[in-house]
Amino acid sequence: MAGLKALWVAVLLLVVHEVSSQLNVCGRAPLNTRIVGGVDAAPGTWPWQASLHTSGPFCGGSLINNLWVLTAAHCFTTTDTTGFTVFLGRQDQAGSNPNEQSRTISRIVCHPDYSGSTNDNDICLLELSSAVPFTDYIAPVCLAADGSTFNSGIINWVTGWGTTSFGGSAANILQEVDLPIVGNRECNCSYGQITNNMICAGLSAGGKDSCQGDSGGPLVGKQGVQWVQSGVVSFGRGCASPNFPGVYARVSEYQAWINGIITTNQPEHWNWTAGRHLKYPE
């Protein structure tokens, strides 16, 4: 009986270690030493980047724990999971990807208040068919916590395989581009439809932006050694147009909704304003 008890203790310690290890790796990109107007990203630079496919790539996403991907609601017009594949650890849409894992989707959960006419609440969760192992090339991103503030001018990065010009050809190699945050008031002067559920990023002169095919991908900023996702690629006026920054779903507004869907092994949320790590569950 004592031997059985010792075995259970060992198993419990292993489970606790596994859960703990998953809760403390978010936003770490060990191969990261630092789209329109973007450049090729080096392999492993953005290990949470996901590529969503049917007959080919159609949207991006971000890994937020070992079983869930965050993306945009406008990428999905159905809850039928048939025919969808998620690729993680992918670098090249046309070549070999030795660090890649692929999964089918077991559940699609888009925000119930998503509006296709206003683009509000453009956020969606995808449950993978099975958990993915974390490596240098596959790891979850941290999520901006409720109350996070991204001031104008703060540099964030957006990544994806979308077109490199409006109406142009999609990129084969994952692209990365750095963009300053644009305040909602200024952004609303351009669009007239910006809500508190949105965050904007771009240059007033244009020239750098996400574009078609980047939808659902992550907008991230770095805080210390952690990368924190501030936005999900949503919409824009053309691509990289002057005075029309890209618009993203504001991740910090959806902490409660995300944690209401993902009830076990919940993603990590970081408060950007205070630089304080908030774990959920505690």
User: Nearest Cα to 240, choosing from 199, 204, 208?
Assistant: 208
Dig out the tokens for 186 from the structure.
Answer: 């200024």
Residue 92 and residue 162: Cα distance in Å, rounded?
A: 12
80 has catalytic annotation: no
74 has catalytic annotation: yes
Catalytic residue among 74, 210, 234, 269: 74
Residue 107 and residue 125: Cα distance in Å, rounded?
A: 8
Question: How does strand 39-40 pair with strand 175-182?
Answer: antiparallel
Does the N-terminal peptide bond of residue 281 adopt cis geometry, omega within 30 degrees of 0?
Answer: yes
Residue 180 and residue 121: Cα distance in Å, rounded?
A: 22
Catalytic residue among 148, 215, 230, 252: 215
**Contact status, residue 221 vs residue 155, Cβ threshold 8 Å:** yes
Catalytic residue among 62, 120, 122, 209: 122
215 has catalytic annotation: yes
Query: Which residue, chain included where needed, has tokens 């969606």?
Result: 124
Residue 84 and residue 257: Cα distance in Å, rounded?
A: 23
User: Which positions are catalytic?
Assistant: 74, 122, 215
